[in-house]
Structure 1
């Protein structure tokens, strides 16, 4: 078994290098590798396929197998939820998930209301509310007088209010 410990020294080094530590997790991986070695040796002995001269060799397939098993265990531990400190507690299970249905519905309704406006009214609302421009900036961009921008905005908002009120009355009825 002494030669296995030399092979496991490399396994411990792989774990330590992968995690930048040399403490308990390396010992846990070493113990897991030893369990796998023991179960593999017992299986090979039962099948009569074990060759004693290869069993204690630090070269060839046994050493490669040890390093592969170690690497796989290290990767499994790094990918596990425990390594990422993920826990599922009772308080997490009962948390309601956010419902975006209201926002989606409001967006659909708002889009429908905006489509009922004329192109000129939508354009003024786009520049003043969505782009955040002032009346003067909107007038300059659109090439129309500032008074026309104010008038279109006023009438567009009135149309939206009345249409939205009709939608609410329809839903309630």
Structure 2
């Protein structure tokens, strides 16, 4: 949890004792309430209560029975903090517990990472090939066409497709050797 401003301390020892009394009286009920709000997640409920009590500390001068119910103020703040946390969780990707992260998941992530690396490498290598050669390679290899089908789509003879593929691959091989060095 991020705290944006340092709390201001009550100005007197009486204020500190008043806050201690407020915590002793209301914290157990706030924890139960926050646990219900957070669907049984005790750790998240503790965060809600901590933020609620921090705000109570900052506004201790306003928390008097003659200005309204202290318990009502605390539960409203706890409710607002819990709703803010729910919204924040929805905005973030789902968190995965380590117990749910097995070897199969790790292998899947490794495969995905390799695929991304391969795509980046292919894109970089294709950038060093002329547009004519790039379109020919795209038709033959990336679109998985036969040389005859690629020739028909490109409107050139089959021999030209084979020649372009040969020269493009030679350029890519030379470039990949330069990248490896």
TM-score by length of 2: 0.42
The structure having more radius of gyration, on CA atoms, is 1
Higher relative contact order (CA 8 A, sep 6+): 1
